[in-house]
Amino acid sequence: MSATPEAVSLARTAAAGAAERLGSDIVALDVSAQLVITDVFVVVSASSERQVAGIVDRIEELLLERHEAKPVRREGKSGGRWVLLDFADIVVHVFHQEDREFYALERLWKDCPVVDVADAVASAEAVSPADVGSGEE
C-alpha cells in the first residue's frame, strides 16, 4: 500500500508552508503500510518556540486555502516545542530542533519510503517571508 494522491498533495502543501516560515530538515514519510490511521508523516524542525508557532500557523493557513483541510486534532501548541497537527490523511510534526533530535521519529520510521517534497520546499524557499506575512497575526 502507498499513500493516496490526496495525502501526497497535502504533504507537499504542508512542506511548502513550513519552508515559507524557514522550517528546516523537512521530511515526508509514507507510513501507510505501517499505520491505518494516516498515510504520511511530515516532520519539520524549528530553531525556537516562536518559529514552531509560525510554521504551524502557516501550514494550517495553506492547507485550509488550497485543500479546505482543517486539522481534526492539534496537540502541543501551548508548549511550543513539538506540535502535532492531524489532518487524517497526513500528520504534521513541527519540532524544536532539540526535541526532534531527542525523539528521532525518522529513526523509528526509517523503513518507510520518503515522499518527495523537494520541489514544494524549493519553490516555497524562493518566496520571501515578507510576501506571505510575518506569521504573527
Q: What is the CATH number of the domain that holds 51?
A: 3.30.460.10
Q: Please report the pLDDT score of residue 70 as a whole number.
A: 98
In this structure, the strands spanning 114-115 and 73-75 are: unpaired
- Angle at which helix 49-67 crosses helix 5-20, to 10 degrees, equals 140
pLDDT at 78: 83
Structural domain span for residue 89: 5-114
Total domain count for the chain?
Answer: 1
pLDDT at 136: 45
**Residue 121 in domain:** no
* Residue 52 belongs to some domain of the structure: yes
136: CB partners within 8 A, 6+ apart: 54
pTM: 0.89
pLDDT at 123: 86
Question: Which residues in the chain show pLDDT less than 70?
Answer: 128-137
Q: Is 54 a domain residue?
A: yes
Q: Which pLDDT score, from 0 to 100, does residue 129 have?
A: 57
According to the model, what pLDDT value does residue 80 have?
86
Cell of 70: 482543517
CA distance 74 to 72: 7
**29, part of any domain:** yes
So what's the pLDDT on residue 25? 96
H/E stretch holding 54 reads helix 49-67
Nearest Cα residue to 50 out of 21, 75, 80, 74? 80
Q: Is there a domain that residue 73 lies in?
A: yes
